[in-house]
Amino acid sequence: MTAILKHELRAHFHSLTAWVFGAFLLCFVGIGALQYNLKAAVSNFEYVLGYCAIILAIIVPLLTMRTIAEERRQKTDQLIYSLPVTTTQVVLGKYLALLILFAIPLLIVCLYPLIFAQYGDVYLPTAYGSIGAFFLMGAALIALGVFISSLTENQGFAAGLGVAVMLFNYYSVSLSEYVSRTTVGSGAALAVLAVLLCLLIWYMTKNANLAYGAAVVLILGLSGVLYFKPELLEGLLPGIMEKLSFFERFYTFVDGVFDLTSVIFYLTAIVFFLFLSVQSLEKRRYN
């Protein structure tokens, strides 16, 4: 895993990716700090990160797009498969390299509250709590980006899909207000989601029977709930959209609340998407 990690770090620093990512992140945090801390004289550094959160939906896919897609395009994945390392080690090596790239500009950002504290009252626990949460949210988004990169060999497609998915996640709370809260509305929306999930299963496994089986189980389950416990579906979809928002959970920290469930949520999301990335790489061996 160390070899993969070092190799990835070198590749990112040899190309412009690492530098552009770091520059963009620092630039936006700088603009935020200028607006809030200097111009508006607000002493809460966490608001700056709240302002900058959306930029992650743009720059994280740019960072992660080549991670696995590029290996597939230039056929170096065959080298990876033939080396005495496991797919999990490969994915972890690549992921840790990305985390380091993300952590470097954040370490610089960590100096900002200290600098501002020299000139006024900055409440450091919320500032650093937010920086920690910002890192966790970024780590979860990076895991999602790695997974999306594992689905294709086209970097552009990986980046585009990544931006779309992350922006949808960013706006999911606002969008949830427009989603039907009725039982039927939620049921219909969940049925559509079930079909989309089955299409994803089919795409990843190329196993039509498995996809049909999953569709039957999900639709039957949904019908059962609709028939026996319809009240469970009331407001379910908007609720899911709010709960699954990476960004909404981050704003809890910005508001000064250290939410342990959110920490667990981010860690779970990281494990989940890395697991899917490993499966996505493994499935290539079987197709």
Partner 1 sequence: MITVSHLTKYYGRHLAVSDLSFEIGEGHVYGFLGPNGAGKSTTMNIMTGCLSATEGSVSIDGHDIFEEPKAAKKLIGYLPEQPPLYPGETPEEYLHFVGQAKGLRGERLRAELEAAIEATGIEPVRHKRIGALSKGFRQRVGIAQALLGDPRVIILDEPTVGLDPLQILEIRDLIRRLGRTHTVIFSSHILSEVQTVCDRILIIAHGRLVAQGKPEELERELAGETEIRLIADADDLTAAKIVASVEGLHALEVTGEGGVSTFRLAAGDGDPHAMTRALFGAFAKADTAILEMSVKKATLEDVFLELTEKDGSGLPAPEDSIAEDSAPVDGAAEEIKESEATGHDGDPEA
Q: Which residues bind partner 1 (CB under 8 A)?
A: 2-4, 6-7, 10-11, 14-15, 74-79, 81-86, 206, 285-287
Alpha-carbon distance 14 to 260, whole Å? Answer: 38
When the beta carbons of 85 and 197 are compared against partner 1, the nearer one is 85
DSSP state letter for 34: I
Asked if residue 98 lies in contact with residue 64, where contact means CB atoms within 8 angstroms, the answer is yes
CA–centroid distance for 239 within its chain: 19
Please state the closest distance from residue 6 (CB atom) to partner 1, in A. Answer: 7
- For 123, phi then psi, to 5°, come to -80, 100
Helix axes 124-149, 87-109, angle to 10 degrees: 150
Length of the chain measured in residues? 287
DSSP state letter for 86: -
Please state the closest distance from residue 73 (CB atom) to partner 1, in A. Answer: 11
Exposed/middle/buried for residue 28 (C-beta within 10 Å: 0-12, 13-18, 19+) = buried
Alpha-carbon distance 83 to 71, whole Å? Answer: 14
When the beta carbons of 7 and 229 are compared against partner 1, the nearer one is 7
When the beta carbons of 128 and 202 are compared against partner 1, the nearer one is 202
Please state the closest distance from residue 152 (CB atom) to partner 1, in A. Answer: 19
When the beta carbons of 46 and 71 are compared against partner 1, the nearer one is 71
Token pair in block for residue 10: 């070198």
When the beta carbons of 83 and 267 are compared against partner 1, the nearer one is 83
When the beta carbons of 82 and 118 are compared against partner 1, the nearer one is 82
Dihedral (CA of 189, 214, 266, 284) sign: negative
When the beta carbons of 27 and 79 are compared against partner 1, the nearer one is 79
Asked if residue 132 lies in contact with residue 92, where contact means CB atoms within 8 angstroms, the answer is no
Please state the closest distance from residue 231 (CB atom) to partner 1, in A. Answer: 45
Please state the closest distance from residue 11 (CB atom) to partner 1, in A. Answer: 7
Alpha-carbon distance 263 to 177, whole Å? Answer: 25
Please state the closest distance from residue 286 (CB atom) to partner 1, in A. Answer: 5
Please state the closest distance from residue 151 (CB atom) to partner 1, in A. Answer: 19
